[in-house]
Amino acid sequence: MASITWLGQMGLKIRLGGTTVLVDYFASPIPERRVPPPIAAADVTGVDGFAGTHDHLDHIDHGAWRIWGAACPEAKFVFPSVHRPSILADGIPEGRLLPIDAEQSVQIGNITIRAIPAAHEFLDPDEQGRHPCLQYIIEGEGKRIYHAGDTLRYEGMLPRLKAFGPIDAALLPINGRDGARYRRDCIGNMTFQEAADLAGELRPGLVLPGHWDMFADNAGDPEAFADYLDAKYGGRVKCRIPRLMEEIEL
């Protein structure tokens, strides 16, 4: 069994063989959400690992991670290593933490998670060279899934991605950036055109647009993404606008 299920925003449930991981699942029912959590944090079961690409609420949901740390006692937690103190503060035991940085990998069951830097909005490593934002390549059962987290495209990113080999499915943020968002300290992602161009050059087997549904003041247009991708790349990349909780077999 190899499948992905979109959980809203950049949330993704990945099942590869007998291993299940949730990446960037935002489960807290805060008032600003336009879409309620499809699964209440307390109802999440049967998960082997949780991964967060960076320490923003809609990617590492600390309230949910505290619940999962207790409710899923065997689960591992993957996150950029620079955020170790905040994850330890969630009460998750050290032995279940799998901190990671760019060019490193960790293993959960039969799934391997590899990392490259994300530029959200900039590549901003600390003095030890640790990156606060990451992108993940998730592999298992002969499948490879690219989860872009929150990022802009930066020089050298495409060759890094291509070096992993063929991508079976990719989830890319499309909400973009603008002056109004900068002024309220809302940093940006790829525009839908930039994300479509990345997909067109990377050529995954399937691409899903993400980060467009959750917040009214930081949204994107998945139809525009799909139309631009089709117009420019002539159907050479299969695009699917995901539906919440729809399981897609790979």
Q: What residues pair up with 16 in beta bridges, in sequence order?
A: 2, 19
- Domain containing 77: what range? 2-242
CA distance 144 to 166: 7
d(CA 147, CA 133): 12
Q: How are beta strands 207-210 and 169-173 bridged, if at all?
A: parallel
Extract long-range pairs of 153-158: CB within 8 Å, 24+ residues apart: 153/119, 153/190, 153/194, 153/197, 153/198, 154/117, 154/119, 154/123, 157/116, 157/119, 157/198, 158/198, 158/201, 158/202
Contact 168, 205 (CB under 8 A): yes
pLDDT along the chain (250 residues), means of 10: 97 97 98 97 97 98 97 97 97 97 97 98 94 98 98 98 98 97 94 98 98 96 98 95 97
Whether residue 92 lies inside any domain: the answer is yes
**Cα–Cα distance for residue pair 226/241, rounded to 1 Å:** 8
Report yes or no on 250 lying in a domain.
Answer: no
Q: For the chain, how many structural domains are there in total?
A: 1
What is the maximum span of the chain, computed from C-alpha positions, in angstroms? 49
- 174, 197 contact by CB (below 8 A): no
Residue 232 lies in a domain: yes
pLDDT at position 1: 87
- Using a 10 angstrom Cβ sphere, with 0-12 exposed, 13-18 middle and 19 or more buried, the burial of residue 128 is exposed
Question: Is residue 36 a part of any domain in this protein?
Answer: yes
pLDDT the model gives residue 142: 97
Domain for residue 248, yes or no? Answer: no
Tell whether pTM > 0.85: yes
Residue 218 lies in a domain: yes
Contact assessment for residue 201 and residue 176, using Cβ atoms and an 8 Å cutoff: no
Phi and psi for 192 in degrees, rounded to 5?
Answer: -65, -30
Domain with 162 in it: what CATH number? 3.60.15.10
